[in-house]
Chains A and B, each alone.
Chain A
Amino acid sequence: MPKKRDAKKINFTSIAEVPTMPMSLGSMLWNKTGTWRNIRPEIKLEDCIQCGICWKFCPDMSILIENEWPVVDYDFCKGCGICAEECPAKCIVMVEERK
């Protein structure tokens, strides 16, 4: 099982905690963009050649590499389909999101 990223919402209680610049405030950790998805990528690992192209191309860093295998992080994957398009082994398929 892939490790879930820590998705705790950050709330500052005093101005002292606020960084100087808008920087890694954690907004993207609590903003679980996985709910935006209406199609989902599924990886057929039996055909995967472990090239890492899906990991590199995913604009949302939602392909995690666990023990050298690609795993989709569905908490954040928006279902854009870029990984499926780029996979040279054509082993990622986009399927209708289950209701």
Chain B
Amino acid sequence: MKKVIMGNHALSYGAMLARSQVIAAYPITPQTQVVELLSEMCADGTLDAKFIKVESEHSAMAACIGASAAGARAFTATSAQGLALMHEMLHWAAGERVPVVMGNVNRAMAPGWTIWADQNDSLSQRDTGWMQYYCASNQEVVDTVLQAFKVSEALSIPSMVILDAFALSHTYEVVDIPEAAKVDAYLPPFRPLYKLTPSDPRAFGGLTSPEHYMELRYKLQKDMEKAPALIEATGREFEKIFGRYLGLVDPYLCEDAEIILVTSGTAGYTARVAVDAMRAAGTKVGNLRIKVFRPFPFEAVRKYTAAAKKIAVVDRNISYGHHGIFSQELKSAVYGHADGKPVFGFIAGLGGRDITPASFKEVVDYAIAHEQPEAEIVWIGAKI
């Protein structure tokens, strides 16, 4: 069924179709409508779930961890400062290996106080052990929530489904809402290997001495390494049922491109418009939109950038004292594989500044004009 819905409601529909059993969340702009709609769905019986009102994001994640450990499919959503407040619990969820799925609306970190998009909130949680999916359309948001639960539950690793503030969260788009019966076939009920239950009592997350801790972390990493193949397989399975493939990356005209733009989030779709215009003007440029950031799709990135002469990464984030975070990751992915081809790092769109087709034109023009980048960061659209 086609419906015009906002990105926030796309998250709600995803959580509803996944038959989430416990939802615990705290409202924060620009995420609020996600939980508003879910609480309405719980109240009117559209969704048979326990909706837990909590006093903070930290508690929201704590409640989801408990629910998931008890064998319930748990969902929450947050943004920016709320995600930062959850930080401790994010480590806890991944360490305890509970497959919670969370929506995060990418909003820049304060201060200065802001509600607009950039990726520093979620990228600051890079090393917590969560999988991260960056979406570019409301359709992708609904679909990815379903895939995220499937992959998370198979690997016992939590997932974050991420969408840009306003450019998706408050933007209405036509979404083909997956049919419930087909979703049930794709995503069967959550059956954890171990759970908190009085009939088979266990303690979770207890004292772990140096004799054991390292092996647990080794296992988390090994399971994370299984994720790329599983994301591709579950993406193909999804495609068979719903006709839409959900992959690690979304390549656009990369095969014969001399310059590859590397993008993520909604900017990754705007880049396609710029690529079309530049192609029409004779510039051989392609766009590789990174959909999954954790685990990082090393193989896919190497494959799609292999033939290009230059790589131009556009980051809507920054690691202060280093450079753009996708740019760092790109360099590490192609290190030893790129025959010294230059990786240009651009920073654009911080704090909700718009990233337009013209921004990408500027990026590509710079990459054409320079053999090597003049600095680790080239700023786009900044008044400097």
Do A and B touch directly, given a CB cutoff of 8 Å in the complex? Answer: yes
* Residues of A participating in the B interface, judged by any CB pair closer than 8 Å: 11-12, 15, 18-25, 27-28, 31
B206 touches A12 (CB 8 A): no
**A11-B211, A12-B212, A18-B212 are contacts. A23–B204 as well, Cβ < 8 Å?**
yes
B96 close to A (CB within 8 Å): yes
A21 to B98, CA, bound (A): 9
Give 7 nearest A-B pairs by CB, closest first. A21-B97, A24-B202, A18-B215, A27-B207, A22-B208, A23-B204, A24-B203
A21 to B219, CA, bound (A): 9
A31 to B209, CA, bound (A): 10
**Chain B 218-230: CB-based contact to A (< 8 A → 1; otherwise 0):** 1100010000000
For B69, the closest partner residue in chain A by CB is A21
A18 to B212, CA, bound (A): 8
* Shortest Cβ gap from A13 to chain B (Å): 11
A63 to B356, CA, bound (A): 67
For A9, the closest partner residue in chain B by CB is B211
- Contact residues, B2-39 vs A (CB, 8 A): none
A25 touches B194 (CB 8 A): no
A28 touches B96 (CB 8 A): no
**Chain B 179-206: CB-based contact to A (< 8 A → 1; otherwise 0):** 0000000000000011000000011111
For A17, the closest partner residue in chain B by CB is B215
**A11-B211, A12-B212, A18-B212 are contacts. A24–B206 as well, Cβ < 8 Å?**
yes
A22 touches B95 (CB 8 A): yes
B206 touches A15 (CB 8 A): no
**A18-B215, A18-B216 are contacts. A23–B202 as well, Cβ < 8 Å?**
yes
A28 touches B207 (CB 8 A): yes
Residues of B within 8 A of A22 (CB): 95-96, 204-206, 208, 212-213, 216
- Contact residues, B215-255 vs A (CB, 8 A): 215-216, 218-219, 223
A28 touches B194 (CB 8 A): no
* Shortest Cβ gap from A38 to chain B (Å): 22
* Shortest Cβ gap from B100 to chain A (Å): 13
Among the listed B204, B211, B213, B218, which residue makes an inter-chain contact with A15, where contact means beta carbons less than 8 Å apart?
B218
A24 to B208, CA, bound (A): 10
* Residues of B participating in the A interface, judged by any CB pair closer than 8 Å: 95-98, 156, 193-194, 202-209, 211-213, 215-216, 218-219, 223
* Shortest Cβ gap from B203 to chain A (Å): 5
A20 to B282, CA, bound (A): 53
For A25, the closest partner residue in chain B by CB is B212
Among the listed B206, B218, B223, which residue makes an inter-chain contact with A25, where contact means beta carbons less than 8 Å apart?
B206
**A12-B212, A25-B212, A27-B208 are contacts. A20–B203 as well, Cβ < 8 Å?**
no
* Shortest Cβ gap from B201 to chain A (Å): 8
Residues of B within 8 A of A19 (CB): 194
B204 touches A12 (CB 8 A): no
A1 to B204, CA, bound (A): 31
* Shortest Cβ gap from B88 to chain A (Å): 16
**A21-B156, A22-B96, A23-B202 are contacts. A12–B215 as well, Cβ < 8 Å?**
yes
A25 to B213, CA, bound (A): 10
* Shortest Cβ gap from B192 to chain A (Å): 10
A21 touches B212 (CB 8 A): no
**A15-B218, A22-B212 are contacts. A31–B207 as well, Cβ < 8 Å?**
yes
**Could you list 5 A-B pairs, sorted by A, with CB under 8 Å?**
A18-B212, A21-B216, A22-B216, A23-B194, A25-B212
For B212, the closest partner residue in chain A by CB is A25
* Shortest Cβ gap from A42 to chain B (Å): 28
A50 to B95, CA, bound (A): 41
A46 to B254, CA, bound (A): 84
For B155, the closest partner residue in chain A by CB is A20
A21 touches B204 (CB 8 A): yes
A27 touches B193 (CB 8 A): no
For B203, the closest partner residue in chain A by CB is A24
For A31, the closest partner residue in chain B by CB is B207
A27 touches B206 (CB 8 A): yes
Q: Knowing that A20-B193, A25-B212 are A-B contacts, what are 16 other residue pairs whose CB atoms are under 8 Å apart, sorted by A's residue number?
A: A15-B218, A18-B212, A20-B156, A20-B194, A20-B223, A21-B96, A21-B98, A21-B156, A21-B205, A22-B205, A22-B213, A23-B204, A24-B204, A27-B208, A28-B206, A28-B207
Residues of A within 8 A of B223 (CB): 20
Residues of A within 8 A of B207 (CB): 27-28, 31
